[in-house]
Structure 1
């Protein structure tokens, strides 16, 4: 999976690599970008295991926003069937999600994971011409 393309190396004005804000002996903090990339990659990998023939050669990408201005509403993903490429747009997915007030209470990490997974499922369903719920019918069942 290709990530957003942002650089992991920072060298401002030739001063060298910047150290972590938490100190040189601690790992770098995970950013929202890293978390989104990891969730999208894990979901894409899960779907590749379930649909290996249908998703062979499909490229998943993450971008911040679409490169063209929206007509009516922001798109959250783009499927290019000719090149078999799925592009997920992180900012519209994360910032334009409207959760009911009653659903906002609880585990925010789980809600974010379900949000990202849901859009990966929708994009793959769009590519394959299938309902997203049919891609992994047992995925979201209560245990």
Structure 2
């Protein structure tokens, strides 16, 4: 084996190639976007346990930022999420905006609570109910 082939397989100390610190799939290798997507899915699953029939066919999407031409649905100038009722062949849809939520959260647990509240608010809007009726724990996650 020549020196060039040996260098490609081993580092300068002869200990082997440097590789990832953890195998793919472990929490260390998940991006912030992947973690956020999982939080949204957990929030939807939490509500589906109670509202399975009403949420059948609901589409949920995550976008990084809201579009600039989106009309504000709340007094907050930057929307955290939007609900689109079903129209014709299009199913009802919820869009959650990742970056505005991440900037408001203090830590990962606070972000998960915010995501749960935003998803609850959007489902409540689609169902024509108050958020408290959709999820009795709405707004209480940060209180101890």
Tell me which interval the TM-score lies in, with the shorter structure as reference length.
Answer: 0.5 to 0.7
Counterpart-to-counterpart distance in 2, 1:119 and 1:27: 33
Note if 1:93 corresponds to 2:138: no
Partner of 2:22: 26
Match of 2:79 among 75, 100, 104: 75
- SS of 1:56's partner is coil
Normalising by structure 2, we get a TM-score of 0.66
Instruction: List gaps (5 residues or longer) in structure 2.
Output: 1-17
The structural deviation recorded for 1:33 is: 0.6
Structure 1 residue ranges (4+ consecutive) displaced by more than 6 angstroms after TM superposition: none
Note if 1:61 corresponds to 2:61: yes
Which range is displaced more, 28-37 or 57-66?
A: 28-37
Equivalenced residue count is 113
Instruction: Output one character per residue of 1:94-114: Cα deviation in whole Å (capped at 9) or x when no partner.
Output: 22x2x7xxxx5xxx3321211
Note if 1:127 corresponds to 2:126: yes
Alignment of 1:97-108 (within 5 A): 97=104, 108=107
Counterpart-to-counterpart distance in 1, 2:19 and 2:61: 32
Normalising by structure 1, we get a TM-score of 0.67
The structural deviation recorded for 1:85 is: 0.7
CA-atom RMSD in angstroms: 2.6
2:37–2:62 contact (8 Å) kept in structure 1: yes
Counterpart-to-counterpart distance in 2, 1:116 and 1:130: 18
